[in-house]
Each structure stands twice: as structure tokens, then as C-alpha cells.
């Protein structure tokens, strides 16, 4: 099956047209987009383009000279029901919230439109996981923003700028991690791979790296929920309590039984992992005792 020269998707021959039949400006723009998508050279000399990409090329070529359009870095165009990162969907795909879109723009200078959707597995709470930034296929395209979208985007940008400085995993060095959690950064990231979504009624709650930081800080120093709320930027004290509870349940699902069994069978006794296991089990036992006493 032939591939589209621009998007590299597979299509039936009837859905493709030969690029050389189009105007020189369209051919040049197709070449530019292909290079920005970092696609390899084609195996034959005939470049074919799908109908969707042809419409995009013609529209972008026309709009590039319009003063009302801004040339911006944006993800490659996809069907609106598919994930803008990996192209999967529509099952397991959610709309990317405005806060996440602004954070992506602040971190990467990439503008993502208000209708963009993303797999929930790419998210870390309300934000896109920073490691997913590199998976976005980016192209420079003319973008037209209507007044309402400009106002909303600028308002979110202002709120982001006015936020109080809080501890975030992506800003911590290895020494910072040891100070905050008693774990190295690599051990922290390894521990987070064990943090599975927690069953909660008829759905599953996803735990975030911020929740793991909060949990470890509380286990290590016994800080109050109110202090942790300020430190990690939670909205309420109850949100901290819920995050700690969900993280405890998440670690009890797989990390504690798996890691304890593996460490003892292999004769490995990692002090940091032993600490996490011990404090998680202790906190779970304390919670059960509290429930019984109640």
C-alpha cells in the first residue's frame, strides 16, 4: 500500500494524487513539511499525497500571506478524535485542558489548539508528561486565533505566571531528590513505574509524580497536610489527604509485594526501597487500625 508523502500514513491509491501535478508552491510546502516531520527519503521517485494533506497544503499556502494568521509551531494535523501525540484513539482519549496547553507552550513554544485530544496515559494529572513533548511531531503552520481563544489563552498564561513557586519533580536535581524524598532521582523514577491507577468505585484514579513526592515527604518527615498543600501547590488540605491515600493504595497494589519478594529472593536489600516498603506498610496498618477504632 502506498504512503502519503507528507503525513506518511498508508492509503489506497484512489485516495492519493501525484504531487508533481500540483503548483510549485504546493510542492515546496509539502517538501518543507516532510522535512519537519523528519521522514526518511521515499523508495521511489513518485511522491503521492493524500486528499487531507492536499487540502491542508493548499489552505496553508493561501493563509501564509494573510496578516491575520501567525506562523506557529503546532503538532501535525490529525483527526480531532485522535491523540495529538501518538495518533491513537478514540478510545482512551480525553480533551487536553487549557492549563496543560498553556504549560506546553511555556515549556516548548508549541501551540496546541483548544480541540486537541490526548491519550490519558500521556498525562500526569492535569498536565502532559514532559517526556511526551519529544513525541509531538511539530510543523510550522499559519494559525488563525479568534478573539475568544486569544483572550482565554492569555488569561491562562497570566494565571500560570502568577502561580506561587512550588516543588515540581522536573525542576529537582538528583541532590534535591535525596533531600526531599531520601531517594535518588533514578530510584524515584523507577518507583513511579510501580504506581498503577487505583480502583475507585466504577473508575480508576491515576496517581501523579507530585503525589509520590508528597507521599514520600510525609512518610519521611511526617509533615502536616496543610504544610504539604503549600509546599506542593494542592488546592486544599483534603486534596493532599486524598493524594497520600491514593498513593499508599497504589504502592500496596504492586510495589510492596513485588519489590519485597524480589529483594529478598535475590538477596538485595536496597535501603531506599526498604524504607519506602516499610513506611507504606506501616501507614497502611495505621490506617486500618484507625478505621477499626472508629
In whole angstroms, what is the distance from residue 118 CA to residue 126 CA? Answer: 11
Give pLDDT tens digits for 116-133: 999 988 887 778 888 889
> Locate cell 480533551: which residue?
95
Share of the chain above pLDDT 70, in %: 84
Band of residue 59 on the pLDDT scale cut at 50, 70, 90: very high
Q: Say what the pLDDT of residue 260 is.
A: 60
Q: What would the grid cell of residue 33 be?
A: 513539511
Residues written for the chain: 294
Q: In this predicted structure, what is the pLDDT of residue 188? A: 87
When pLDDT is cut at 50, 70 and 90, the band that residue 157 belongs to is confident
pTM: 0.57
Give the span between the Cα atoms of 94 and 279, in whole angstroms: 35
**pLDDT at position 156, please?**
81
**Cis preceding linkage at 198, omega within 30:** no
Q: What is the pLDDT of residue 118?
A: 93
Please state, in angstroms and rounded to a whole number, the distance separating the CA atoms of residues 113 and 124.
Answer: 19
Lowest-pLDDT choice from 42-46, 79-83, 88-92: 42-46
Helical residues (DSSP H) of 87-184, grouped into ranges: 98-108, 147-162, 174-181
* Of 52-56, 58-62, 186-190, the least confident: 186-190
Mean pLDDT confidence for 241-252: 88
Residue 144 to residue 285: CA distance in whole angstroms: 57
Tell me the three state secondary structure of residue 84. coil
pLDDT (average), residues 167-196: 82
Task: Locate the domains of the chain by residue range.
Answer: 1-64, 66-163, 169-293
Amino acid at each position: 500500500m502506498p504512503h502519503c508523502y507528507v503525513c506518511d500514513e498508508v492509503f489506497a491509491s484512489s485516495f492519493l494524487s501525484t504531487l508533481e501535478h500540483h503548483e510549485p508552491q504546493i510542492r515546496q510546502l509539502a517538501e518543507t513539511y516532510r522535512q519537519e516531520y523528519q521522514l526518511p527519503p521515499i523508495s521511489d521517485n513518485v511522491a503521492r499525497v493524500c486528499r487531507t494533506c492536499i487540502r491542508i497544503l493548499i489552505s496553508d499556502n493561501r493563509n501564509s500571506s494573510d496578516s491575520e494568521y501567525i506562523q506557529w509551531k503546532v503538532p501535525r494535523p490529525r483527526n480531532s478524535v485522535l491523540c495529538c501525540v501518538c495518533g491513537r484513539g478514540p478510545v482512551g482519549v480525553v480533551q487536553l485542558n487549557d492549563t496543560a496547553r498553556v504549560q506546553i507552550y511555556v515549556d516548548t513554544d508549541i501551540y496546541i489548539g483548544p480541540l486537541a485530544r490526548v491519550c490519558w496515559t500521556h498525562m500526569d494529572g492535569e498536565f502532559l508528561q514532559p517526556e511526551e513533548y519529544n513525541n509531538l511531531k511539530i510543523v510550522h503552520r499559519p494559525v488563525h486565533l479568534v478573539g475568544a481563544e486569544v483572550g482565554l489563552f492569555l488569561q491562562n498564561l497570566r494565571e500560570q505566571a502568577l502561580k506561587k513557586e512550588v516543588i515540581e519533580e522536573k525542576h529537582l536535581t538528583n541532590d534535591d531528590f535525596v533531600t526531599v524524598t531520601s531517594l535518588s532521582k533514578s530510584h524515584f523514577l523507577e518507583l513511579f513505574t510501580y504506581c498503577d491507577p487505583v480502583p475507585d468505585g466504577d473508575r480508576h484514579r491515576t496517581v501523579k509524580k507530585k503525589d509520590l513526592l508528597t507521599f514520600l515527604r510525609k512518610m519521611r518527615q511526617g509533615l502536616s497536610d496543610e504544610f504539604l498543600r503549600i509546599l506542593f501547590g494542592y488546592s486544599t488540605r483534603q486534596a493532599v489527604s486524598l493524594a497520600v491515600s491514593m498513593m499508599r493504595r497504589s504502592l500496596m497494589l504492586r510495589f510492596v509485594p513485588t519489590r519485597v519478594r524480589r529483594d529478598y529472593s535475590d538477596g538485595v536489600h536496597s535501603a531506599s526501597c526498604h524504607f519506602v516498603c516499610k513506611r507504606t506498610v506501616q501507614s497502611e496498618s495505621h490506617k486500618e487500625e484507625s478505621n477499626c477504632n472508629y
